[in-house]
Structure 1
Amino acid sequence: MSDITIDTALLGEKIVNVLKTIYDPEIPVDIYELGLIYDVFVNEDYEVKILMTLTTPNCPVAETLPLEVEEKVKSLNEVKDAEVEITFDPPWTQELMSEEAKLELGML
């Protein structure tokens, strides 16, 4: 049982590293640092579910960004399947951005 926990934790880190390679096309900061990723779930079957939001409901990449996230996460060898769920509850605000992102955008 403990092996699975270690594996999913390591896989979680790998997933976060992949998420940090995906950028919002309008903001020069990755989607993880922007705070668009609300949660990452990994089950024992290495199926991943990502709960994320977009900066606005009519975001120009509303169609393509979730697909890009799914594809990149699925490309990890350990991942059997990946699904992205978009939510606007709670809505994204600049408060969700990491210090790094705020610094990058000159907000600090």
Structure 2
Amino acid sequence: MEEINVQELGENIVGVLKSIYDPEIPVDIYELGLIYDVFVNEDYDVKILMTLTSPNCPVAETLPREVEEKVRAMENVKGVEVELTFDPAWSKDLMSEEAKLELGML
């Protein structure tokens, strides 16, 4: 296992998050603005603060679990905690320009 620094691991995690898509919207969850923060400590424990497009989202059970499983499977990651929050509530303003373009909102 090759040692990498915390910042590099954080960037790799973002890459994995960009491979996970909301099943209802053809945009990855990172560009969609569902990921509020990714914390990586010196022990390579990861905490991801995320939200869903709505509290009644049909993937409320499966999407956070998919995030946790994919990040946990990464090399160098020791532990993963995914915290779901609705404060602040998700809005279209959180989407990246790329996501808005993809969805024809620009």
Whether these two folds match at TM > 0.5 is yes
Match 2:19 to one of 5, 18, 21: 21
Question: What residue number does 2:84 align with?
Answer: 86
What is aligned with 2:43?
A: 45
TM-score, length of structure 1 as denominator length: 0.94
What is the one-letter code of the residue matched to 1:33? E
Within-5 A mapping of 1:54-69: 54-69=52-67
- Identity across matched positions, percent: 78
Instruction: Give ranges in structure 1 of 5+ residues lacking alignment.
Output: none
The aligned residue for residue 68 of structure 2 is: 70
- Displacement of 1:49 in angstroms is 0.2
Find the aligned partners of 2:75 and 2:7 in 1 and give their Cα distance: 15
Indicate the structure with greater helix content.
Answer: 1
Structure 1 position 27, deviation (Å): 0.1
Report the TM-score, using the length of structure 2 for normalisation: 0.96
Considering only aligned residues, what root-mean-square deviation do their CA atoms show, in Å? 1.2
Deviations 1:29-76 (A, max 9, x none): 000000000000001110000000000001000000000000000111
Aligned-partner Cα distance in 1 for 2:43–2:10: 13
Counterpart CA distance in 2 for 1:67 and 1:45 is 22
CA distance in 2 between counterparts of 1:43 and 1:9 reads: 10
Q: Runs of 4+ in structure 1 displaced over 2 angstroms?
A: none
Equivalence for 1:102: 100
What secondary structure sits across from 1:103 in the alignment?
helix
How much does 1:79 deviate?
0.2
**Across the two proteins, how many residue pairs are aligned to each other?**
104
